[in-house]
Amino acid sequence: MAFAQHCLVLPILPGAPKQQALQQLRHVRRAVRRGITMQPQAASSYGAYRPARPKPWVQGQDAYQPDDAWKADMEMAATEKVRSGGFKASGKTVVVTGGSQGIGRATALLFARKGYNVVVAARQPERLQYVADDCKAAAGRNGASLAVPCDITKEADVKALVNRVLAKFDSVDIVINNAGVCLQGTFEETSMEDYRNMLDINFLGAVAVTQGFLPVLQKTAKRRGAFEKPAVVMVNSYGGKIPIRAMPAYTASKYALAGFTDAIRPELESYGIHLAQVHPGMVRSNFLERAEFRGMDADDKRTAMTQLLQTAPFVQKPEEVAQAIYDAAISRRNEVTVGMPFQAAMAGFKTLGINPFSLGVLAS
């Protein structure tokens, strides 16, 4: 029955050149391989079938025309097709947001070494391309890489990310929501704009990316089966489980991400998609370039944080967090906290209500 669904009877009109008939047959075969449905044209045409592609349209005064967003996406997809020689890369593919440095870069490189195709997305194009090149070198012949500049707070950027990924790869197996920023400041020092910014990047950005790739992951789940579930990994923070003094905006955004993850897990699991959450501790990386500090003593706070990251024995390496992310995705663990000190802190807060970070220890 499955074969019959792809069978087409081609009407070869009397007098049709043999070469033209064979060309028509090749056209249909290519369309079937790509999953494109065929629609009959007028009987007077030798090419009796043509591919039917759904397109978004906007109403004009006299006729329907493709909208600008659709045109831009198709141009970008065509460019990716040319770069890849007209063929989509096969194999398993992982998408990493915030992939230009730190945890994101380490995670992308780890998956590349494991043989995955790697897509890195972030707001820094130059750094991003370096990471993609490093991933390609790490994978060798076992995988491909793609760098996509993307601001996850912009809906158009997220849509373009999905389109560019699908133009190059035939599936997506893992989506890692790693993009995030840090802000330290008391409630009095933190503005409403700060709260909106934290929520947009640390919470709503992850929501948008997950929603954008959901249909793709659903298709992957149907193709892979129960033993090779696709996965979404939310890179959260211990600040999503334990409130951190003098960091209300950051803590609120991470708590929102934790609650959202727990809320949608049953739904995604019903689709055959694993959903994991990873909580790093304090990580020695260059995230301080993007971290923001509020108050009259903002410079002193930045200096203190820099010294803490350089000297504290419990500070983690990005590679440690990357390994935890990989393990969470592959072993189907729902939640992973990185590092024994932070695991103990979470256990103490959950059971005894003791918060070791109430003195203002900063988040990663």
- In a domain? residue 83: no
Tens digits of per-residue pLDDT, 39-53? Answer: 444 433 333 334 444
What is the pLDDT, as a whole number, of residue 290? 77
SS3 state of residue 205: helix
Residue 148 has phi, psi (to 5 degrees) of: -125, 105
Residue 270 lies inside a defined structural domain of this protein = yes
Two tokens, residue 266: 């049953």
Q: Report which DSSP code applies to 199.
A: I
From the centroid of its chain, how far is CA 215? 13
**Parallel, antiparallel, or unpaired: how do β-strands 57-59 and 64-66 relate?**
antiparallel
* 99: CB partners within 8 A, 6+ apart: 105, 107, 108, 119, 120, 121, 122, 128, 131, 178
Which of 55-59, 71-75, 103-107, 148-152 shows the lowest per-residue confidence on average (mean pLDDT)? 55-59
Evaluate whether 357 touches 245 at the Cβ level (below 8 Å): yes
Residue 48 counted as domain residue: no
The CATH number that applies at residue 156 is: 3.40.50.720
Domain count, the chain: 1
Judge whether 40 lies within some domain.
no
In a domain, 50, yes or no: no
pLDDT of 347 reads 73
Q: How do residues 81-97 score in pLDDT, each as one tens digit?
A: 444 444 566 689 999 99
Q: Tell me which H or E stretch contains 283.
A: none
* Listed range (16-20, 116-120, 303-307, 352-356) with the worst mean pLDDT: 16-20
Task: Please check whether residue 60 lies inside any domain of the structure.
Answer: no
Q: How far is CA 170 from CA 39, 92, 117, 201, in A?
A: 24, 9, 11, 28
pLDDT in tens, 228-281: 899 999 999 988 989 988 999 999 999 999 999 999 999 999 999 999 999 998
In terms of average pLDDT, the best of 45-54, 187-196, 284-293 is 187-196
Instruction: Give domain status of residue 67, yes or no.
Output: no
Q: What range does the domain containing 315 cover?
A: 88-352
From the number of C-beta atoms within 10 Å of its C-beta (0-12, 13-18, 19+), residue 104 rates as buried
Residue 124 lies in a domain: yes
Neighbours of 261 (CB within 10 A): 23
φ, ψ dihedrals at 126, nearest 5°: -65, -50
